[in-house]
Structure 1
Amino acid sequence: MSRQQHFGWFLARGFGPHGWGHPSLDWDYDWTSPALYQQAVRTLEQAGFDLLIIEDAPSLGSASTIDLRVRQAFGGPKLDPLLLAPYLFAATERIGIVPTVNPAAYLPYTAARQFATLQHLSGHRLGLNVVTDTGSARHFGTAPQLGHDAAYDRAEEWTSAVVALWRSWPEGALIAHPDAGRYADGALLQPTRHRGEYFSFDGPLNAIPFTDGAPVIVSPGGSPRGLGFAGANSDVQLALAPMTEQSVRAYRGRIHDAAIAAGRSPDDITILFAIQPTVVSSAEEADRLVAASHHPDDDVLRRIAERQSSDLETDLTGLDLDRPLDRGIFGEHVSHGSIQRLIGTHDEDASLREILTAHARLGRIRDGSGWVGTAVELADRIEEYGAWGNDGVLLWGDLHPVTVHRTLDELVPILRRRGILRREYEPTLRANLRPF
């Protein structure tokens, strides 16, 4: 029997115009209506996925890149995934829903109370993808715009403050016993006075304690500071790394070391590596797609530059394709991980054309050069990850029902027959994420 793993779906485009730029747009779903997302998330639950993580970026970016972000809907518009979550909970029974939240956008007391409400309403299936998007801070009053590491410092303080408020009702404070005529013992509630570098507030929280654990904390981020944040705070790490055995084991080792340094067990963190497969019907079709991608024309490179400009909030479209990329064009607010994903393994002399061409090229699942292949080939590769000790994977894509079915229809039965994918759920998201 193969090693069972955890599975999630990362809604990489966020709560935005799904289907835009693709033929699936003509299915006539309304991306502002919950029906599209409810239909797709029910499919994920039927498939046995542990969780759905919904990306978000509250900002349209800097003035110089707004048009790049909205022209093809790469970076906006986006609606708030936290407000989509109740519709997804209502449509499902077991799968976890994980909207992205930015500490700059939510004061700790408001955050703790709203998230506690959703945790109760969902039957303890809420997760929070805590990100440190520094460029959005200017939209939220007096929140300062911080550099990369300082933004993690703020997120660390925010997360600790929210958790402290959740714990301000200790064991025994909630009585709720009609025969005793007492609902709660106010003398036991913790004041939770917080005076920090970034936030100040008083508790206790006006919300009852959880019966089956607090919301699950998820985080991305591969920088040393990001890994440190995950080690101290996260239940799930959204991992981005080359999917070789050496790289996977090394990345897991860094997360485990960070957890131990924070006084936690490595088993406290479920590490899910994000992959973006293109599942096709035959090996011949996969070979054809890969061969066609190896010689991109300038139009293809321009579209990739537009997408990268949106993600990096840095306009690459006006740069000379045949000159080396100046790394100094990226501001302090740009994610180090995003810059590294753009550059890959290229050295400083690499031209922008070489860098973008690498993003255009596809590779085959079966030889480890990329993510194009059949469902059997993808299942083989995921099974191999389990042999390396991997916790699981996040499939990266939009949440359009066409995309979900195209990816999963053949894959799910194969994974289940091999014992890799769950058939039954535990009652809560936290329980579902326990090691197998």
Structure 2
Amino acid sequence: MTTNRQLCIGLSLSATWMNGNGWRLQNSGVENLFASDFYVDLAKMAEKAKLDFVFKPDSLFLNCDLLDKSPGFSSLDPIVLLTSVARETERIGLVATASTTFNPPYVVARQLQSLHWISNGRAGWNIVTSIDGSENFDHSPMPSSEERYTKAFEFTDVVQKLWRSYPNEALIMNRASGKFVDKEMVSPINHSGKYFSVKGPINVPAHGSGDIPLFQAGASTWGRNFAASVANAIFAATPDIASGIELRDDLRKRAKDHHRYPDDIRVLPGMYFFLGKTRSEAYDLYKEAHAHLSMSHRYKVVQSILGMDISNLPLDQPITADLLPDTDMPVRSRTHADLLRRLIVQQKPTVEELLSRPEVVGSAHWVVVGTAEDALKEIVEWFEAGAMDGLIALPGGSFQSLQLFFDELMPMLVEKGLFRDEYKGRTLREHLGINSSLSK
């Protein structure tokens, strides 16, 4: 190995192996999709392997078009779910997703600080601006990416001000003197901005372990700037090693521009893996997971991501940069659009090649198909190339992929010296190696 660093690894608590036809397998566990014990068991598996955290993505809408054949975006509320997980685990970090577009900052600040106390310092916040769901909150159309991130900057600032408004040091609890809190240390924030007006202070004191680590999941230009200014870790969508290197290099540069150390930000791509005892078994899993996707569906996905219709083009025609629509055309996800645009500019894929890309048929994330040894080789390659600081595990195909991840891949990473064999701390901040307070 050419590095003494170790990986930061989290597990997604979304049952990604149920995507496509995966939920129909006998051992998928789909009957327990809305049972808290199902997720508690996953978290315990992750804690046994000494993972840094479990991560609960979220969306605030239900895709009814998919619902007859898949779970769609059905999901338990992350804060409620992770509170139940907190009571059944001891060390593993608990990263909850909360949207800055649809929630009030006071509620999010209070919920997360409550989870921080209940878990004894293990809470994390995955900050998202959401790409769908506006119709569930008002009649306004979804704001542009620029507006959502402008709002997210203010939202995050308000949340952090609220966390500082009732510092842990204010707690005295002196029975003899009768003094519960040094109230001079607790103060309103009196925030008045473009989007929010919040008096404060929060009614839950800060936990003694320090600030709650911040995660961020956007990779658009606005998302990168936001992440570089506030995030401790990035849940990155980087389908190949080149995009991983580019994103990490760019974020580290932006961190310097925001007067932060580059190492303050950990880039954690989602690794969507299909593991088998043999490569043939793994490829069969991958193929079966996407067998339900018709060509018409794939064309619709491309149109949804890029805002362009390629259904009338010959399958062998290259897609070149001059065919792309203007970058200011509204799209569902700027992050996914930028990924595919970059691919087209650099590789000029044919229509057929584009329709078979993982970003189109399954995920915008890094896809690994093979044995545990194959996955280890790719992880080492990405890590040594500077394409990541760790990963968030997204098991695909079947529950067997997750079992092989824990039973075979994780021990290999420990043996290579790329991951710990025991926890050295008890809080998420300690797992991530965060020494200083974000609020300082």
Is the Cα–Cα contact under 8 Å of residues 314 and 330 in structure 1 kept in the other structure? no
1:22 is matched with 24
Gaps of at least 5 residues in structure 2 are 436-440
Shift of 1:280: 1.9
Please tell me the residue identity of whatever aligns with 1:430.
R
Secondary structure of the corresponding residue to residue 225 of structure 1: helix
From the superposition, tell whether residues 149 and 207 of structure 1 become closer, same or farther in structure 2 (CA, over 3 Å). Answer: same
Shift of 1:126: 0.9
1:8 is matched with 10
2:85 is aligned, of 82, 85, 88, to 88
Secondary structure of the corresponding residue to residue 176 of structure 2: helix
| Residues 293-331 of structure 1, C-alpha deviations (whole Å, 9 max, x = no match) | 9xx99965356567x489859898x95575879758997
Please tell me the residue identity of whatever aligns with 1:236.
A
2:68 is aligned, of 68, 71, 92, to 71
- Aligned-residue sequence identity (percent) comes to 26
Please tell me the residue identity of whatever aligns with 2:427.
T
| Residues 194-250 of structure 1, C-alpha deviations (whole Å, 9 max, x = no match) | 111111110111111220112211101111111111111111111222443x54333
From the superposition, tell whether residues 15 and 181 of structure 1 become closer, same or farther in structure 2 (CA, over 3 Å). Answer: farther
1:339 is matched with 337
Matches of 1:345 and 1:18, distance apart in 2: 24
Is the Cα–Cα contact under 8 Å of residues 104 and 140 in structure 1 kept in the other structure? no
Is the Cα–Cα contact under 8 Å of residues 18 and 398 in structure 1 kept in the other structure? no
Query: Are 2:232 and 1:218 aligned?
Result: no
| Residues 50-100 of structure 1, C-alpha deviations (whole Å, 9 max, x = no match) | 11221111023xxxxx44242333633333222111121122111112121
Matches of 2:359 and 2:107, distance apart in 1: 43
Query: Are 2:41 and 1:39 aligned?
Result: yes
Matches of 2:20 and 2:176, distance apart in 1: 53
TM-score by length of 2: 0.82
How many equivalent residue pairs? 419
Alignment of 1:252-263 (within 5 A): 252-263=248-259
Matches of 1:13 and 1:150, distance apart in 2: 31
Query: Are 2:113 and 1:116 aligned?
Result: yes
Alignment of 1:5-404 (within 5 A): 5-11=7-13, 21-24=23-26, 27=29, 29-60=31-62, 66-73=63-70, 75-141=72-138, 145-170=142-167, 172-244=169-241, 246-283=242-279, 285=281, 300-302=294-296, 304=298, 308=301, 322=314, 327=325, 332=330, 334-341=332-339, 345-346=343-344, 353-359=352-358, 371-389=368-386, 390-397=388-395, 402-404=400-402
Is the Cα–Cα contact under 8 Å of residues 237 and 272 in structure 1 kept in the other structure? yes
Please tell me the residue identity of whatever aligns with 1:151.
R
Secondary structure of the corresponding residue to residue 83 of structure 1: helix
From the superposition, tell whether residues 274 and 414 of structure 1 become closer, same or farther in structure 2 (CA, over 3 Å). Answer: same
Please tell me the residue identity of whatever aligns with 1:355.
L
Shift of 1:357: 2.3
Is the Cα–Cα contact under 8 Å of residues 275 and 401 in structure 2 kept in the other structure? no
Is the Cα–Cα contact under 8 Å of residues 146 and 333 in structure 1 kept in the other structure? no
Is the Cα–Cα contact under 8 Å of residues 162 and 202 in structure 2 kept in the other structure? yes
Shift of 1:383: 2.4
Matches of 2:240 and 2:169, distance apart in 1: 47
2:430 is matched with 431
From the superposition, tell whether residues 262 and 131 of structure 1 become closer, same or farther in structure 2 (CA, over 3 Å). Answer: same
| Residues 245-297 of structure 1, C-alpha deviations (whole Å, 9 max, x = no match) | x543332221112212222212222221222122222345557778x79xx99
Matches of 1:334 and 1:209, distance apart in 2: 37
Please tell me the residue identity of whatever aligns with 1:55.
P
Matches of 2:383 and 2:370, distance apart in 1: 19
Matches of 1:349 and 1:247, distance apart in 2: 16
Shift of 1:37: 1.1
Please tell me the residue identity of whatever aligns with 2:415.
R
Please tell me the residue identity of whatever aligns with 2:9.
F
Is the Cα–Cα contact under 8 Å of residues 99 and 129 in structure 1 kept in the other structure? yes
Matches of 1:17 and 1:243, distance apart in 2: 21
From the superposition, tell whether residues 300 and 17 of structure 1 become closer, same or farther in structure 2 (CA, over 3 Å). Answer: closer
Shift of 1:119: 0.6
Is the Cα–Cα contact under 8 Å of residues 305 and 356 in structure 1 kept in the other structure? yes
Matches of 1:25 and 1:340, distance apart in 2: 36
Secondary structure of the corresponding residue to residue 343 of structure 2: coil
TM-score by length of 1: 0.82
Matches of 2:129 and 2:243, distance apart in 1: 25
Matches of 1:182 and 1:370, distance apart in 2: 57
1:421 is matched with 419
Is the Cα–Cα contact under 8 Å of residues 238 and 271 in structure 1 kept in the other structure? yes
From the superposition, tell whether residues 238 and 360 of structure 1 become closer, same or farther in structure 2 (CA, over 3 Å). Answer: closer
Shift of 1:158: 0.4
Is the Cα–Cα contact under 8 Å of residues 56 and 100 in structure 1 kept in the other structure? yes
Is the Cα–Cα contact under 8 Å of residues 8 and 394 in structure 1 kept in the other structure? yes
Please tell me the residue identity of whatever aligns with 2:358.
H
Please tell me the residue identity of whatever aligns with 1:269.
I
Is the Cα–Cα contact under 8 Å of residues 307 and 331 in structure 2 kept in the other structure? no
Please tell me the residue identity of whatever aligns with 2:107.
T
Shift of 1:424: 1.7
Shift of 1:413: 1.7
From the superposition, tell whether residues 225 and 32 of structure 1 become closer, same or farther in structure 2 (CA, over 3 Å). Answer: same
Q: Which moved more, 1:212-221 or 1:258-267?
A: 258-267
Shift of 1:162: 0.3
Secondary structure of the corresponding residue to residue 151 of structure 1: helix
